[in-house]
Amino acid sequence: GEDVEQSLFLSVREGDSSVINCTYTDSSSTYLYWYKQEPGAGLQLLTYIFSNMDMKQDQRLTVLLNKKDKHLSLRIADTQTGDSAIYFCAVARGPGGGNKLTFGTGTQLKVEL
Amino acid sequence: GAVVSQHPSWVICKSGTSVKIECRSLDFQATTMFWYRQFPKQSLMLMATSNEGSKATYEQGVEKDKFLINHASLTLSTLTVTSAHPEDSSFYICSATNQGTGRAGELFFGEGSRLTVL
């Protein structure tokens, strides 16, 4: 099955950029997502990218996809304390997209003053 | 964006009782909803796919008689944890797709329901 890996923890200073990385194994994955989870809450969809794209920018968020290396990253510009949360990448299972997602292990982002 | 709501957000029950968790899509119709389970500091594990008007599809290793799923309408799916035991304590999250947006594969998640079994 699909494996999705992330580093567990990232600490940055307020105002710096944060880069959260994710690797996956299934080359047929077509939709790749980033979700944010605050303590005790559900998941909030931040952004997503199709596998035929290599970059997507949405305000402070930039998603980069290296399909050859099966590597996905999320860059948060001008990181704020409100960005502190756990960030999950998720990959749509199998070709054609679909809604069954495999989630990464989650990266806890801590933003320090 | 589309809103998915879960109820209750937090429930404590005694061992051996059954607990029902509701998942509602508030402003869209969802023919398919998904139920996930999340243990502390871990990722989400897909438990089952809930299809309106038909039986749920369970992932390998998930007991369908233990976790009963009913998707009676296009806006409501329920997960019932039957004869709950302490090991069932977890954070249960549902998600649904708003197929009306045209963005296939885009899921919206509920706020989650924390179950504690004493």
Q: What single-letter DSSP state applies at residue B59?
A: P
CA distance A20 to B118: 37
User: How many residues are recorded in chain B?
Assistant: 118
Beta strands in chain A (DSSP E): 4-6, 9-13, 18-24, 31-37, 43-50, 55-58, 61-66, 71-76, 85-92, 101-103, 107-112
Please judge whether B105 and A41 are an interchain contact, meaning their C-beta atoms are less than 8 angstroms apart.
no
Nearest to A19 by CA among A89, A82, A68, A70: A89
Stretch B43-66: mean pLDDT: 90
B 27-56 residues with CB < 8 A to A = 32, 34, 41-44, 46, 49
Closest chain B residue to A91 measured between Cα atoms? B105
Beta carbon pairs, A and B, within 8 Å: 56
Contacts of residue B52, Cβ cutoff 8 Å, sequence gap at least 6: B30, B31, B32, B71, B72, B73, B74, B77
Q: In this complex, is the C-beta atom of A39 within 8 Å of any C-beta atom belonging to chain B?
A: no
| A81 has pLDDT over 50 | yes
CA distance B55 to B57: 7
* pLDDT in the model for residue A96: 44
Please judge whether B43 and A103 are an interchain contact, meaning their C-beta atoms are less than 8 angstroms apart.
yes
Closest chain A residue to B42 measured between Cα atoms? A105
* pLDDT in the model for residue A3: 85
| B5 has pLDDT over 50 | yes
- Strand, coil or helix: what is B83? coil
Cα-trace Rg, chain B = 14
CA distance A20 to A36: 12
Q: Kindly provide the b/e burial profile for residues A12-27, where b requires at least 16 CB atoms within 10 angstroms of the residue's own CB.
A: beeeeebebbbbbebe
Residues A23-67: pLDDT tens digits?
Answer: 999 877 778 899 999 887 888 889 988 888 899 999 999 999 999
Contacts of residue B61, Cβ cutoff 8 Å, sequence gap at least 6: none
Stretch B26-37: mean pLDDT: 88
Closest chain B residue to A41 measured between Cα atoms? B111
Stretch B71-99: mean pLDDT: 91
CA distance B81 to chain A (A): 19
Nearest neighbour of B32 by CB, restricted to A40, A41, A99: A99
